Amino acid sequence: MLDIGEGDREGRGGMEMARRYGYKEILPCTAMVAVECSNVVINILFKAASLKGLSYYIFIAYSYVLGTIIFLPLVFLFNRETTLPCLKSPLISRICLLGLLGYSGTICSYKGIELSSPTLASAISNLTPAFTFVLAVFFRMEKVAFRSSSTQAKIIGTITSISGALVIVFYKGPKVISSPTWTSSSVSLQKPLGSSQSNWIIGGLLEVVAYLLYSFWYIIQSQVMKIYPEEIVVNFFYNLSVALISLPICLLAEPNLSSWRLTPSIAVVAVLYSGLFGSSFSSTVHTWGVRLKGPVFVAIFRPTSIVIAVVMSAIFLGEAVYLGSVIGAVILTTGLYAVLWGKAKEEEMSSDNESGSSSSGPLSSCKVSLLRSHSDEEM
């Protein structure tokens, strides 16, 4: 009977360990890949809807209004005991700045996709860690020690990432993978745009500006979370601020109310998917991933969006893959992982220093007490 009880306890302990491993290791990886897939799907749906006449002003306004509606009941459902922030606090001004940066970046991003392709947007998105590192150094949020291997890796990775992005933007090159012949409807969708070399360059530059603005957004977001660490409330106010910014701008840019009707079915699907998964799912999962595994873990999954975008754009939009995109993506991804390696190395060194200082503290105090006791005995 005792052996059976011990066996049951060991079995329960093994199941508990397996559950913890699944929550801390398998689930975050699956969630991050799902987020990258959903972001690529949003870009592809918007591309298809824009080819059918959907304005990116209207698309952004509808998406953030829907995101605000989704987060509103969640604020009262999951934050009953949390007091809402005061409207006169510096938190609201920072959230409004988040909304302005987020809206400006989204405008540049979707206009860039309209002129180029979702694959280009996914490749340029890997500039985010490099841009964030440069801005953190500029705002003195990160120290630079040029003799440190981690700092050298981050600097070299930043330069390499920017070089890869420039290759993608300014060198299109010949086709490596032609558009599939069986996607006749997709090819007909792509023909009206006729993405020329000039459109490709302008679209790529707009994507670079967009992800530079997103890097500013991450820095302000870190300040907001230090002041008020409630992700759902912050996301609600962020979506609300973007909706309040986008609606009047959209009315000025699209004064004809008939253009606000989502007549093609692909436009309705794009807006619903963006509101549900772009404004809600992605931001929540990213915040959870940063809290559970850290920002380096979340950024590691960025390059998976390139592969996903290439496959899905070829299948659903009939887009070809060009040599410049392949070469630039390889260079950019190499630079990305150099920046991430440097960041991980720096965090490892800081954690070792903290553990060393904490362990040296008791030892030094112990030595002092021993010396004192020895001197007392001599006296």
Cα separation, 269 vs 71, in Å, equals 20
Task: Assign 365 a pLDDT band (cuts: 50, 70, 90).
Answer: very low
Give the 3-state secondary structure percentages of the chain, helix then strand then coil, rounded to 5. 80, 0, 15
Give the pLDDT confidence score for residue 105 in this predicted structure: 93
Q: Is the pLDDT of residue 363 over 80?
A: no
Q: What is the DSSP code (8-state) at residue 302?
A: T
Q: In the prediction, which pLDDT does 182 show?
A: 46
Q: What is the pLDDT of residue 244?
A: 95
Q: Is residue 325 within 8 Å of 115, Cβ to Cβ?
A: no
Q: How far apart are CA 279 and CA 256, in angstroms?
A: 26
For tokens 């992982």, name the residue. 337
177's enclosing H/E stretch is strand 175-177
Question: How confident is the model over 263-283, as a mean pLDDT?
Answer: 84
Helical H runs in 139-230?
A: 149-170, 184-190, 197-227
Q: For residue 92, what pLDDT band results from cuts at 50, 70 and 90?
A: confident
Average confidence (pLDDT) over 335-347: 80
Residues 220 and 100 sit within 8 Å (Cβ to Cβ): no
**Alpha-carbon separation of residue 290 from 126, 219, 357 (angstroms):** 17, 14, 26
For residue 177, what are the β-bridge partners? 321
Cα atoms found within 13 Å of the Cα of residue 77, Cβ hemisphere only: 7
pLDDT at 169 > cutoff 70? yes
| 3 state SS of 176 | strand
Q: How far apart are CA 194 and CA 116, in angstroms?
A: 9
In the predicted model, is pLDDT for residue 341 greater than 90? no
pLDDT: which is higher, 181 or 237: 237
Give residue 318's pLDDT band: very low, low, confident or very high (50, 70, 90).
confident
- Burial pattern 28-58, b for ≥16 Cβ within 10 A else e, equals beebbeebbbbbbbbbbbbbbbbbeebbbbb
Q: Please tell me the predicted confidence (pLDDT) of residue 205.
A: 92
Three-state secondary-structure class, residue 321: strand
375: pLDDT strictly greater than 70: no
The pLDDT value given to residue 68: 92
**pLDDT > 90 fraction of the chain, expressed in percent and rounded:** 16
> Could you read off the pLDDT of 9-50 as tens digits, one per residue?
655 666 667 677 666 678 888 888 888 888 888 988 998 888
pLDDT, mean of residues 310-339: 82
DSSP count for the chain of H helices, then E strands: 15, 2
69-89 mean pLDDT: 74
Q: Residue 2: pLDDT above 60?
A: no
Phi, psi of 319, rounded to the nearest 5 degrees:
-85, 145
pTM: 0.76
